[in-house]
Amino acid sequence: MDVTVVGCGYVGLVTATCLASIGHTVRGVEKDQKKLKVLKDGHCPIFEPGLQELMQEHYAAGSLQFTDNVKAATQDAEVVFLAVGTPPKPDGTVDMSYLEGAGKEVCDALAENNNDYLVTIIVKSTVPAGTNRKLYHFLKQQTSAHVQVVSNPEFLREGTAVSDFLEPDRIVIGGESPEAFRMMRRLYDPIVKREEAFMTMSWESAELTKYAANAMLATRISFMNEMARICEAVGADVNQVRKGIGTDARIGFPFLFAGVGYGGSCFPKDVQAIIRIAKENGLPFPLLNAVEDVNERQKRLLVEKVVQRFGEELRGYRFAIWGLAFKPRTDDMREAPSIVIIDELLRRGARIEAHDPESLNEARKVFADRITYHRLNYDALEGADALLIVTDWNEFRRPDFTRMRQLMKTPLIFDGRNLYDHDVMREQGFAYFPIGRAPIEAR
């Protein structure tokens, strides 16, 4: 099929590249000239494992192209993805201007191209219930182009987005046109392994499905973080509790890890969006209000542990931070717990020596010269009074503890991701303060 993707940000570029990899001809539209040049030079402007290689392969083969010309990109298009931003306004509502602007530009281009067949416009952006219906009626009023609109929310996880797209557990399509549904089924045919995984529903149901999924996962995280606090209070081990409930088939193991809270571009925004949608419809949502409150409090838990150990005033102390991105396998710093943790330590006068495998450049945009950045994790440890582990990168799971002890002023770890075994910490002579588990004092 001939596919156009408007917007080559994270979602748009993953979508365009993966569709090209399953046999479609794809044209990505990007108006940012700096980013467009990077794409045309055959480089991936974002960090996502596997994406660079896949993009270069199909760009070189010609099945993936990039342009800033919407009319040229839609000349033969059968489907057009809109993957543009839908940022929140100051009052919390979604700014529809980018979506409406992109939709109208596409429809105007289709009309100029005299396309005499149905073109399906696919909204990938996460939007409140009712948005796609409004967009469809807006576009019908603005243009004579023969178009339908469907909602096709993305369920991509940063760090595994390529495999998530190519091996989906479900594909959700919202709309009202049987013809558009058939077009979408044809588009995704190469990756539909189970017919029941291809779901068609109303616009509103599809829109809410994305929000509901992320809100549910955020709820599981906040629940386990509350359980971790109880575990510490009564002397239980949250890892053992997780295993005890995760083996229940009704519950399962995903998203039951205690830590320093969730972040990123989706969970915080989507939880807030459902709270707002409920409020606009006169429906309180105290459960999600609590989920959000728990998460904000959890981001400060490591600092609470540091203060209990060193006191309220931290001037003169040096702390190493391992992990700045909100999760491993990404450089994304949006709503990252590390921001809250580091800001609070700096406010108390501490000196910060930070390392992350991928997000140092993004971190510089947040902290500028207020902290010191290290390309190698061990370099951040020299002379440190303690190490705080904030992101659970695999690189941190099997470190050289002997080397760490030699570099650090004090063999002390505050583990915000529960990476290490108690027995190992005892053997290695570290004072160890995990989440929801008993602390260990150094020998």
* CATH number for 406: 3.40.50.720
Q: Is residue 442 part of a domain?
A: no
- In DSSP notation, 150-202 reads EE----PPTTSHHHHHHS-S-EEEE-S-HHHHHHHHHHHGGG--SGGGEEEE-
Is 236 in the same domain as 251? yes
Would the CA dihedral through 298, 299, 302, 308 be positive or negative?
negative
Is 346 in the same domain as 222? no
pLDDT tens, residue by residue, 92-126: 677 888 888 999 999 889 888 877 788 999 999 88
Adjacency order of strands within the sheet including 64-67: 64-67, 25-29, 2-6, 79-82, 119-123, 147-151, 171-174, 198-201
pLDDT tens, residue by residue, 22-55: 999 999 999 999 999 999 999 999 999 999 999 9
Q: Is residue 342 part of a domain?
A: yes
Beta-sheet pairing, 351-355 with 386-389: unpaired
Q: Is residue 440 part of a domain?
A: no
For the whole model, what pTM was predicted?
0.92
Q: Which amino acid is at 347?
A: R
Q: Which is catalytic among the residues 18, 107, 231, 266?
A: 266
Q: What gap in Å lies between CA 174 and CA 151, rounded to an integer?
A: 5
**Length of the chain, in residues:** 443
Q: Is residue 336 part of a domain?
A: yes
pLDDT tens, residue by residue, 280-336: 999 999 999 999 999 999 999 999 999 999 999 999 999 999 999 999 999 999 999
Confidence tier at 169 by pLDDT (50, 70, 90): very high
Of 200, 226, 260, the one marking the end of a domain is 200
Q: What gap in Å lies between CA 93 and CA 87, rounded to an integer?
A: 9
Range of the domain at 392: 299-433
pLDDT tens, residue by residue, 190-243: 999 999 999 999 999 999 999 999 999 999 999 999 999 999 999 999 999 999
- Is 266 designated active site? yes
C-alpha triplet 420, 321, 319: angle, nearest 5°: 105
Is 27 in the same domain as 126? yes
Task: Look at residue 140 in the predicted model and tell me its pLDDT.
Answer: 86
Residues 6+ apart with CB under 8 A from 109: 70, 71, 73, 74
Q: What percent of the chain has pLDDT over 70?
A: 100
Of 180, 200, 220, the one marking the end of a domain is 200
pLDDT tens, residue by residue, 336-375: 999 999 999 999 999 999 999 999 999 999 999 999 999 9
On the question of pLDDT at 143 being above 80, the answer is no
Q: What gap in Å lies between CA 344 and CA 70, rounded to an integer?
A: 46
Adjacency order of strands within the sheet including 431-433: 372-374, 351-355, 318-322, 386-389, 412-415, 431-433
